[in-house]
Structure formats: structure tokens, C-alpha cells
Structure 1
Amino acid sequence: MNAQPKPVFHVCQTCASGGQALHDALIELADPDLVAVESVRCLAACRQGCTATLSMPGKWSWLLGQLSPELAPDLLVYAQAYGRSASGTVMPSRRPDSLRDIILGRFPAQNPAAPAPQHAVPESVS
């Protein structure tokens, strides 16, 4: 098993427009050493369904919409490009044509938690 971080798709299972089918197609086609596929109950983008996210530690995360099971092979190509990108940004010209307009939003990478500042506690006056 590959110990390196890898891209993760979180696929909305509650999308009436094919969430479960997309999840199943990705699971069937994905190399688990290269990309992880997980399910989530809701991504709160119901009007843009079927939706998924693509994320990886230290990189931008992406909310993707208007997806279908037929896009699974292209999504996996996109995930490979995403994994190779230093920031997680894959320009539309570098994505398969079918994925040019799937981006609904992006979220900055989470930074490791910085230590909490130490505040001096005033001594009580008696």
C-alpha cells in the first residue's frame, strides 16, 4: 500500500442525480493506491448535483458539480493531474474537455495548527 498522501474524492450519496452511481463507478475504476473514494451524506450543493469534492493535504480543495457516472474515467485523470500539482490547481486547459465547467468552488489548504499563544495569567491581588 502506498504511504504517500493521495487525492481523495468525497462523493455525495444523497444526490438524487446519481451520487451512488458515480461513487460506484469511481470505486470500480480507481487504483486505490493512487486515489481514494469516500462517500458523504450531503455536500449542500443539491441544485448542482451530482457533486463531489477533491482534496489532498496541503493543496486547494475543490467542490465539483454537474457530475455523472460517465465522467468517472475523466475524473480519475483529473485526480492524477491534481495530485501532481504543487498547489492542487489544474487549469481547465489541463483537464479533460468533459470537465471544463465542473468547478463550483475552491477552499484553501488547511495549515497545520499553530501552537496557541501563551498569555500571562495575572497574579491575584490579595
Structure 2
Amino acid sequence: MLTRVADGPAVVACNTCRHSADSREDGAGVRGGARLVATLRAVQAEDPRYAGVAVQEMPCLFACTDHCTIHLRAPDKVGYVLGRFTPDEDSARAILDYAVQYAASEHGRVPYSAWPEGIKGHFITRTPPPGFVAE
């Protein structure tokens, strides 16, 4: 049931997420989550700034009403679940831009003034790392 992955900064995308609040798949019959994973990987491959953040995928993050959902995590940092993305290049770039700043942060907190516009309003939850709670 669990697959071991690299233990570093990662964007874990739900590959079975709905395309939007209104539709499960896009016009080509591809789920939004699968499209977002492919777009994240394509954008990551184009820019070496994103090499330090893994793009991982798994089925269902259980945030179905918040289509195109990702979990941002790293060891000993607060994690975040974000959703309601359009599975396109702009969203993928905003997610990865934020992930780079998150990876460089001490505890997973990025100043709001540094957030890419494309992730504002997409946060669903924050999760403490094992053995910690956030202040």
C-alpha cells in the first residue's frame, strides 16, 4: 500500500483528481490530476531551479471537492495541502516556484509577500511534521 520515495522536498500530486468542480475529465478524457502531474513534470524539466523539489504522484489525497490537489512536504517542515488548481502551465509554475521557496525555508513558512500570485487562495490545510506541532 505504501511506496518508498525520496525523503526530501516534494510536491505530491493527486493523479486521480477531478479536472474541475464541474467535470472529472478534460475534453480529451484525462483527469485533472493526471494532467497536473504531467504539466508539473514538463515545467520542472524546463527549468533547473526546480531540480531540488521532487514531483511525486499518488491516487486520491481525499480532497475531492478541491480538485487538482497537491501536498507540499519536506522533512521537519510544516506541510501544506493546496487545491482548486487549473491543471495548466501557469499553475504548475506557481506551485513549483512556491515549492522552491518552501524547500529553502527553515520550517516551511514562506512570507506571504513572496508567494507567487498563482497559489494565493489555494491553501486547504497545513500539517505538522512528525514529532512537532506548529506555533
Equivalent residue, structure 1, for 2:71: 53
Moved beyond 2 Å, runs of 4+: none
SS in 1 for 2:11: strand
SS in 1 for 2:34: helix
Per-residue CA deviations over 1:57-105 (Å, capped at 9, x if unaligned) read: 0100100111122200111110111011101012332111121111100
Unaligned runs of 5+ in 1: 113-126
Q: Could you tell me which of 41, 57, 62 is aligned with 1:27?
A: 41
Per-residue CA deviations over 1:9-66 (Å, capped at 9, x if unaligned) read: 1111111211111100111121573111111110111001110100000100100111
Unaligned runs of 5+ in 2: 1-6, 20-31
Equivalent residue, structure 2, for 1:87: 107
SS in 1 for 2:121: coil
How many residues get paired? 109
Contact 1:51 1:64 in 2 (8 A): yes
Contact 1:11 1:19 in 2 (8 A): yes
After superposition, the CA RMSD in angstroms is 2.0
- TM-score normalized with structure 2 length: 0.73
Equivalent residue, structure 2, for 1:98: 118
Percentage identity across paired residues of the two chains: 32
Structure with greater Cα Rg: 1
Matched, 1:68 2:86: yes
Rounded to whole Å, the distance in 2 between the matches of 1:91 and 1:64 is 17
Rounded to whole Å, the distance in 1 between the matches of 2:115 and 2:51 is 21
